[in-house]
Structure 1
Amino acid sequence: MPTNYDAPQGNSSLRMTRRSLLKATGGLTAALAMPGIVRAQSNRIVFATWGGSWEEAMRKAWFDPFTEETGIEVITQPGNTYGRVQAMVEAGNTEWDIVEVLPDFQWLGADRGLLEPIDDAVVDRTGIMDAPDLVTEHSVPQVLFARVVTYNSQLGEGPRTFADVFDLEKFPGKRAFYAKAHGGYLEAALLADGVAPEDLYPLDVERALAKLDTIRDSILWYETNAQGEQYMSDGQAAIGIIPDGRALNAKDNGAPIEIAYGLSLITWSAMVVPKGAPNKDAAMRFLAYALTPQAQAAIAEAYTYGPVVPAAFDLIAPERAAILSGGPQMKDPIVLGEKWWGENLDAVTERVTEWKLF
């Protein structure tokens, strides 16, 4: 089965720091000033995507049905980096109509004047789930994905709270955490230390690091989602916070692991329309289509990312819903504060890197 989280989180070139964004655009701007390869056509849109099996799922669930319904063809292009968006816009030669992005670009792109506002006369966003930061003036959420606490089945009942994740006496063994600062372990540490979910942001980074100090020698840092899955599959780690799709994949392949769905960290991918999009009106029609309950249910059937429109669950079989990000098995998930992360990722990364060294 497809593995959740890989398309968005696995594309490290997409989540750029503010400094690297500026550097990346310098060489591209001149090249993009030349006449574009993709011309404006009212009967098609160009969708910049992460590609792979995720693109295939969108083709089946969204692109082909949208074309059949509207006559508007959806052409995909790879390389959906922030730097390329900025270079196109600054060159006055935008070739993409829609770009799928991680949540931080909802604000970063808007702050830099790189995005068109969403046309609320066309795009109905009233059905989107109620969560902080999910909807902005310049973006719509696309799908949900998650990191979940996963544990070795030999632990018995396993952790039921984030405090359990940090309890080495009750649950001995290594912990597998994603190495990047925004991997969810800072939130987990604060929750384990008694911070209420509604009080997580702004993150008290020093308090989180102090909690992490209590298990410092038992942490296995993984650099890729595949590595995190491997740590859990082969028993190197007793407990981990890994993508839900990776956890499902490992379990389905016989790994002795269980998933504590009650300890889930939810985030999302988003869709934006870059400034000067040649087929903006058609792009808005696609966004409207993708946010219908029917389209959200279709993508949930094609891939294990969860719908951002709750009404879609009425169209999804219960057994399918039970394995989706944001599904009913994830009771009261923690929704990550992506706006805060977008504003603070650089500084927190620097502090966490320093902490790891000493």
Structure 2
Amino acid sequence: MTRRQTLAGMGALAAAGLMGLPARAQAKTLVVPTLGGVWEQYWRSTVAPAFTKQSGAAVTLDVGNGRVWGANLRAAGVAKPPYSIVMTNEVFASGLRKEGFFEKLDLSKLPNYADLYPLAKKTDGWGAIGAVSPIGIGYRTDLVKMPPKSWKDLWNNPEFKGRIGLYNFANSAGKMELLLFSKIFGKDQYDVDAGFAALEKLGSVIQVDFNLSTGLASGEIVVAPFDFGEIARLKKQGLPVDCIIPEEGMIMFDQTINILANAPEKELAYQYANFLLSPEVQGMMAKEFFISPTNSKVVIPAELKADVPISGADMDKILTWDWNFVNEKQGELSERWAKTLK
């Protein structure tokens, strides 16, 4: 992040009234798990200071990812968690929820929850999705004569053969690919035999754990599942790419907010959760990371719509999945994936 971006972010928070409260004695500290890289930088420079101004509490960042935070929680045990709040991918959150780490949300302490899109409330009150990166089909506009319209085009368009990118099964998007193809070619998301059969027919693909952009930039990949924010960043770098909403619907990278049942700072955790779900912070995250706000009160400004095209009614086109099913069969599905994909 540049100094100008940091100052602009601070200014936006001040304008939104989130930094206008007088500082109080910092008697409490909230440990906030956060992703690294640009997320850590933005949280450290902008989001955490704004919450401190609003709440009077200090913020300590714990940089990692869902796998790391899950391991830390299991090592500490349900009774004495190191965190009060965790925002992570639902695939990790659902497993921890089933193990008893999280409590059902006290919605009286989360007034902003009422304004969330239905998509963000899919956990029946056990969590709230605070960030969404919708995933459609990204492609090279200069290397593809017939742009994709549906996921089935990965099989039907001969231009794509041998030049398709997919996330591998270790990535949550890889798991979603399997469930999506099971749904499209079988009875439902649970019909994984149909999903694996479809993957086998797809032939040779280029698999990555997290970075499809390098392959798309080199032309090794001409089509792949891509989140719209990443395509926006690649466009700004001058790469001839685009992303479409497939006819069958989108998948997504999500970040679900969860409150620990035995949180050391539970009231502060609820304050922080409501802060993250506010229209002001949701709007700022859309501008900074090109994610789609989950608070329906956020209106994407005209100058940002090209970078954040998915909002409003289009949020209903994002599909959701049974992560308990995936977690229960994780080992079996991972082994079949490795044997199936070339």
The verdict on a shared fold, with TM-score over 0.5 as the criterion, is: yes
When the two structures are superposed, what TM-score results if normalisation uses the length of structure 1?
0.75
Question: Aligned residue for 1:109?
Answer: 96
Asked if residue 89 in structure 1 is aligned to residue 77 in structure 2, the reply is: yes
When the two structures are superposed, what TM-score results if normalisation uses the length of structure 2?
0.78
**Higher normalized contact order (CA 8 Å, seq sep 6+, divided by chain length):** 1
- Partner of 1:306, secondary structure, is coil
Question: Aligned residue for 1:350?
Answer: 335
Q: Is the 8 A contact 1:304 1:325 kept in 2?
A: no
Asked if residue 123 in structure 1 is aligned to residue 110 in structure 2, the reply is: yes
Asked if residue 274 in structure 1 is aligned to residue 263 in structure 2, the reply is: no
Alignment of structure 1 residues 55-70 onto 2, 5 Å: 55-59=40-44, 62-70=47-55
CA gap 1:353/1:305 in 2 versus in 1, 3 angstroms: same
Using the TM superposition, give the Cα deviation of residue 221 of structure 1 relative to its aligned residue in structure 2, in angstroms. 1.6
Question: Aligned residue for 1:285?
Answer: 271
Using the TM superposition, give the Cα deviation of residue 61 of structure 1 relative to its aligned residue in structure 2, in angstroms. 5.2
Using the TM superposition, give the Cα deviation of residue 136 of structure 1 relative to its aligned residue in structure 2, in angstroms. 4.1
CA gap 1:338/1:295 in 2 versus in 1, 3 angstroms: farther
Using the TM superposition, give the Cα deviation of residue 335 of structure 1 relative to its aligned residue in structure 2, in angstroms. 1.9
Number of equivalent positions: 308
Question: Aligned residue for 1:299?
Answer: 285
- For residues 294 and 322 of structure 2, the distance between their equivalents in structure 1, rounded to whole angstroms, comes to 15
- For residues 188 and 117 of structure 1, the distance between their equivalents in structure 2, rounded to whole angstroms, comes to 28
Question: Aligned residue for 1:147?
Answer: 135
RMSD value, Cα: 2.9
- Partner of 1:294, secondary structure, is helix
- For residues 107 and 221 of structure 1, the distance between their equivalents in structure 2, rounded to whole angstroms, comes to 25
Asked if residue 327 in structure 1 is aligned to residue 319 in structure 2, the reply is: no
Equivalent of 1:223 in 183, 200, 209 = 209
Deviations 1:231-273 (A, max 9, x none): 1111112211133333333332222322224463224111223
CA gap 1:48/1:290 in 2 versus in 1, 3 angstroms: same
Question: Aligned residue for 2:85?
Answer: 98
CA gap 1:93/1:185 in 2 versus in 1, 3 angstroms: closer
Question: Aligned residue for 2:167?
Answer: 178
Using the TM superposition, give the Cα deviation of residue 96 of structure 1 relative to its aligned residue in structure 2, in angstroms. 2.0
Moved more, 282-291 or 246-255: 246-255
Aligned residue identity for 1:354: K
- For residues 281 and 217 of structure 2, the distance between their equivalents in structure 1, rounded to whole angstroms, comes to 34
Aligned residue identity for 1:152: R
CA gap 1:177/1:200 in 2 versus in 1, 3 angstroms: same
Deviations 1:119-147 (A, max 9, x none): 22211322111128633443222200133
- For residues 55 and 115 of structure 2, the distance between their equivalents in structure 1, rounded to whole angstroms, comes to 22
Structure 2: gaps spanning 5 or more residues: 3-25
Question: Aligned residue for 1:235?
Answer: 219
Q: Is the 8 A contact 2:154 2:202 kept in 1?
A: no
- For residues 163 and 31 of structure 2, the distance between their equivalents in structure 1, rounded to whole angstroms, comes to 45
Using the TM superposition, give the Cα deviation of residue 303 of structure 1 relative to its aligned residue in structure 2, in angstroms. 1.8
Q: Is the 8 A contact 2:292 2:310 kept in 1?
A: yes
Question: Aligned residue for 2:200?
Answer: 213
- For residues 113 and 188 of structure 1, the distance between their equivalents in structure 2, rounded to whole angstroms, comes to 29
Identity of aligned residues (%): 19
- For residues 53 and 221 of structure 1, the distance between their equivalents in structure 2, rounded to whole angstroms, comes to 24
Question: Aligned residue for 1:16?
Answer: none
Aligned residue identity for 1:318: A
- For residues 187 and 251 of structure 1, the distance between their equivalents in structure 2, rounded to whole angstroms, comes to 29
Question: Aligned residue for 2:301?
Answer: 317
- For residues 274 and 257 of structure 1, the distance between their equivalents in structure 2, rounded to whole angstroms, comes to 41
Q: Is the 8 A contact 1:321 1:327 kept in 2?
A: no
Asked if residue 189 in structure 1 is aligned to residue 181 in structure 2, the reply is: yes
Equivalent of 1:163 in 146, 152, 155 = 152
Question: Aligned residue for 1:48?
Answer: 33
Q: Is the 8 A contact 1:163 1:191 kept in 2?
A: no
Q: Is the 8 A contact 1:101 1:271 kept in 2?
A: yes
CA gap 1:93/1:172 in 2 versus in 1, 3 angstroms: closer
Aligned residue identity for 1:134: K
- For residues 344 and 133 of structure 1, the distance between their equivalents in structure 2, rounded to whole angstroms, comes to 24
- For residues 127 and 244 of structure 1, the distance between their equivalents in structure 2, rounded to whole angstroms, comes to 23
Deviations 1:43-92 (A, max 9, x none): 331112223211232345532222222222222122452010122235x5
